Structure 1
Amino acid sequence: MSRFCIYCGTTGSEDNPVVDGICLKCMLKRGRLIKLRKNRIRVDICKICYSIKIGYKWFETSGFEDAISSIIDNIVPKLLEPSSKEQVFFIRKYEFITKASWKTVVRVYVSTFFGGIQIEVPLDITIFLNPVKCPRCRMYDSREFEAVVQIRGYPLSYISQVLEKVFLEDRRLLRDFIESISFHNGIDVYFFTHGAARKLARKLVHILDAHIMETYEETGMRSGRQRARLYISLKPRE
């Protein structure tokens, strides 16, 4: 029995195959090949340093265009809804329909396959950037934190996994934990106390075989005593 499209009746051709009773042209016309679960999203961006919040983490960016690029790389793929679970797809490129700003319309071009043919599907998404202060800028403004563990020279994905494991194994560290902020070259972990920062640093020294250094920054007086903020640096041994 020959296959035919239930919508237009075509039996298909080399450039318009029929799969499961629907031809490629009808799939595209009805937007069923691949679509966005929602075409408007809102993402928090720091109005001071342009870091953006993805999930529960903050990531450094250099401005609107860089922020949009990070959103397309890390958030938009999770919003794509293919026609089947087995469908392979990826974002090949994107372009700005409007100038990158607090409200930006972006067209992403998604490559996927249908009946053995590779297809590029354009999808428009509107990205709203919600201006807030990131934890780092709030902390610098309020000067609330007491210690920072600065981890550099390791793959970010590896460090994130290590930190998650350490915090899961030692819940007491979480009592004094404030926030972790990712950069292109490492992660800063902020604490309310020197003791918690040193405890994390000791654990990481053994796990990462890291070189450790401590420095202090005087931050004024509290209850008649000089207050000093602790910075602990962890880097690979040379």
Structure 2
Amino acid sequence: FFINAHNEYDSSNYFFWRVEQTYKFNANYRIRFIYDGKMNRFQSPDSLFTCYKSDHIPSIYLYNTEKLEHSTIKDYPLHYVNTESKALSIRYSVLVNQYSISKETYKYWNDLSSLNDEQGDLYSRLPFQVRGNVFNTEDKNEPVLGCFLVAGKSTKRIFIDRPHYLDYYYSDSCNLYGPDAELLWIHRNEWPLFLPAFPGTGGASPAWVDYQWCVNCTKSDGKLEKPDFWVE
């Protein structure tokens, strides 16, 4: 994702972005059976099939236009989404919060970003202390991590349907097996177990699946309720 920005009403040349993502995804299989000591038909195969998942992106996105004639940003690379998860599998939404910040606040977040980027680098500088504008009133020499932020804010949300021209490589560890009675008993602490049906049996034959998230999208930290802001 790329961003364009223009600071028309604020003299600040420093930008800071926070990003949130939400996406719609499906479990690998629909539930056809439920096992709680005996095998029964599951009456609502779609009830745990589709979920929505939201995440705050932890990356720090900064830019300054101090050396530019105009406070304008064009096609700045902001957030990358790969095809190794189900994020783009159906529908994806990204919310961008843009802040116009002071030079001091920019320096704080830029130092923090540099420190994070250099962790584990063999040739990185020695770790340095990042100081913000928060301090202990009883001991001003005590290091305190934090920066109190007062900034102009603007937001924008967009939605994207699955890009069909991409190849997807998200892990599929959802193999199907015959529902061995001993295996079902070993997992009795997890009862009730949800099971799909073997393909090609018309839904008549239950199958054991490696993980419950293969049939229950809430096991992948998904939420069944559609977010209030969601637009199909």
Name the TM-score class by shorter chain.
Answer: under 0.3
Name the structure with the higher strand share: 1
Task: Give the number of the structure whose residues are more often helix, by fraction.
Answer: 1
Give the alignment's TM-score, normalised by structure 2: 0.27
Larger RCO (CA under 8 A, 6+ residues apart): 2
TM-score (norm 1): 0.27
